[in-house]
């Protein structure tokens, strides 16, 4: 299988890029894919703590690029899935520590060993974002059903297309169906209409997410919570499986059990 580099980005901060990267990575790994999730946010790393692997870091991606260690030494194996690895980034450096060309080289090296390389991009449209975009084969744009993040998503979609990295795929995160029904939140269809971009996943608001980040155990690893199911659906779509998108209602485990999913 040809390996795929997927960059997860958003424009606006705090919409769930890191949660999405961690969980989609876990879900892909549970589908028996060889997966590496890479933290692209130099100086503000968080993927390690969200995944609960923070106490195992010795080397990071900047150490690899600057020749202080071999690539293999910087990879952290997540034993909770068959083939899941984290490549952390440096916490005490800044965006200029890795340039786009170096990022492409690093990913080319990783392509030899992995099916999926997920890059958790920093928020914004500055250098760090462009560095993470450079090696991408596919781009996931995370947005919330809320005006500022949708607007920023549109800006990022434009940039992705202008770099010929499109078409971008949207992940609509933290949707609250009851509020959509009360017409006090943008619906999936509203967002699709406004952005005219394909949606690859709809992740419902889920209180389990906070508890899972508290503990460093991504919901997709063992949970059947609504968000976990949504992340598993995204992973299956990324592997090419045709999983219908339910734009009306986020599916729960029980609904699926009874064939309504």
Partner 1 sequence: MNAFKNLFKGRNSADEAKQRLRFVLIHDRAEIPPGVLDLIKDDIIAVISRRLPIDRNSVTVNIDVVGEENRLLVDIPLLADSRRKVDGQRRKS
Q: How far is the CB of 74 from partner 1 (least distance, A)?
A: 10
Q: How many Å apart are CA 100 and CA 114, to the nearest integer?
A: 20
CA-to-CA distance for 184 and 34, rounded, in angstroms?
41
The nearer residue to partner 1, 26 or 53, going by C-beta atoms, is: 53
Distance between CA atoms of residues 117 and 220, nearest Å: 17
Q: Which is nearer to partner 1, 147 or 211 (CB)?
A: 211
Residue 100 vs 216, nearer CB to partner 1: 216
In the complex, the smallest distance separating the C-beta of residue 223 from partner 1, rounded to whole angstroms, is 13
User: Are the C-beta atoms of 18 and 50 separated by less than 8 Å?
Assistant: yes
Q: How far is the CB of 180 from partner 1 (least distance, A)?
A: 28
C-beta atoms surrounding 110 within 10 Å: 21
Q: Smallest distance, Å, CB 47 to partner 1?
A: 12
Q: How many residues does the chain have?
A: 261
Radius of gyration (C-alpha) of the chain in whole angstroms: 17
Q: Taking the CA of residue 10 as centre, how many other CA atoms within 13 Å lie in the half-sphere pointing to its CB?
A: 27
- Comparing CB distances to partner 1, the nearer of 78 and 115 is 78
Rank residues 93 and 151 by Cβ distance to partner 1 and give the closer one.
93
Q: Are 86 and 53 in contact (CB under 8 A)?
A: yes
Supply the minimum distance, in Å, between the C-beta of residue 76 and partner 1.
8
| DSSP E strands, 166-241 | 169-175, 198-204
The residues binding partner 1 (CB under 8 A) are 49, 52, 54-60, 76, 91-92, 210-211, 213-216
């Amino acid at each position: 299988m040809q390996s795929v580099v997927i960059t997860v980005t958003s424009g606006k901060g705090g919409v769930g890029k890191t949660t999405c990267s961690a969980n989609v990575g876990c879900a892909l790994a549970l589908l028996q894919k060889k997966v590496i999730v890479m933290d692209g946010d130099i100086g503000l790393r968080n993927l390690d703590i969200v995944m609960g692997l923070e106490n195992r870091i010795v080397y990071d991606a900047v150490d690899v690029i600057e020749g202080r260690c071999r690539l293999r030494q910087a990879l952290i194996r997540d034993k909770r899935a068959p083939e899941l690895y984290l490549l952390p980034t440096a916490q005490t450096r800044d965006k200029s520590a890795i340039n786009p060309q170096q990022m492409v080289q690093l990913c080319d090296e990783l392509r030899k060993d992995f099916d999926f390389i997920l890059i958790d991009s920093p928020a914004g449209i500055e250098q760090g974002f462009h560095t993470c975009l450079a090696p991408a084969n596919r781009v996931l744009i995370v947005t919330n059903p809320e005006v500022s993040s949708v607007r920023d998503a549109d800006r990022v979609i434009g940039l992705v297309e202008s770099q010929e990295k499109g078409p971008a795929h949207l992940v609509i995160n933290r949707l609250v169906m009851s509020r959509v029904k009360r017409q006090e939140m943008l619906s999936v269809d509203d967002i699709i209409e406004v952005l005219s971009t394909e949606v690859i996943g709809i992740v419902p608001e889920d209180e389990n997410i906070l508890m899972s980040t508290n503990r460093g155990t991504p919901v997709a690893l063992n949970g059947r919570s609504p968000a976990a199911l949504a992340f598993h659906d995204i992973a299956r779509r990324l592997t090419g499986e045709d999983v219908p998108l339910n734009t009306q209602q986020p599916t729960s485990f029980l609904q699926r059990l009874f064939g309504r999913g």
